[in-house]
Amino acid sequence: MGEETKTGEVTPQVDYIAIEDSQEFRHLRRTQRSFVLPVVTIGLVWYIVYVLLASWATDFMSTPVIGNVNWGVIIGLAQIVTTFVITMAYVRFADRKLDPEATRIRQEIEAEMEGQR
């Protein structure tokens, strides 16, 4: 079951393959992907649109909006804001959905390991 240490204690082994194959872990991964994949796709498209606009719509991007501030500056700053918004949204999502489930799975594994001693 486990490995014996120099002091004679038996260290329980974790079956990571079984954990990965468990319904709970697969649900956790599916929940994470359901948030990450769409958000990353939207963020990447938003970034590519900015790069394309900067490359081929130079007249639009250099159009002044307020004083010397043009669309290029505004959209560039929006890229930074978008990054922070995505990060905050993921942290909130992880706190509410992922962390409780991951904690529950970890506690189950730790309880099983305690039972092996």
Q: What is the pLDDT of residues 67-99, one digit of tens each?
A: 999 999 999 999 999 999 999 999 999 999 999
Q: What is the mean pLDDT of residues 10-31?
A: 90
Indicate the residue type of 81: V
In this prediction, residue 10 carries a pLDDT of 62
What predicted TM-score, i.e. pTM, was given to this entire model? Answer: 0.81
Q: How many CB atoms lie within 10 A of CB 37?
A: 10
Kindly report the average pLDDT of the chain as a whole number: 92
Q: Give me the pLDDT at residue 108, please.
A: 93
Assess if residue 9 is contained within a domain: no
In a domain? residue 112: yes
Number of folded domains that form the chain: 1
How far is Cα 102 from Cα 94, in angstroms, rounded to an integer? 10
Give the pLDDT band of residue 6 (cuts 50, 70, 90).
low
Under 8 Å CB-to-CB from 72, ≥6 apart: which residues? 53, 54, 61, 62
Residue 67 domain flag: yes
Is residue 107 domain-resident?
Answer: yes
Tokens of 86: 């995505």
- In the three-class reduction of DSSP (H, G, I as helix; E, B as strand; rest coil), residue 65 is classed as strand
Check if the beta carbon of residue 113 is closer than 8 Å to that of residue 14: yes
Look at residue 112 in the predicted model and tell me its pLDDT: 87
DSSP state of 5: -
In this structure, is residue 16 part of a structural domain? no
What range defines the domain where residue 70 resides?
23-116
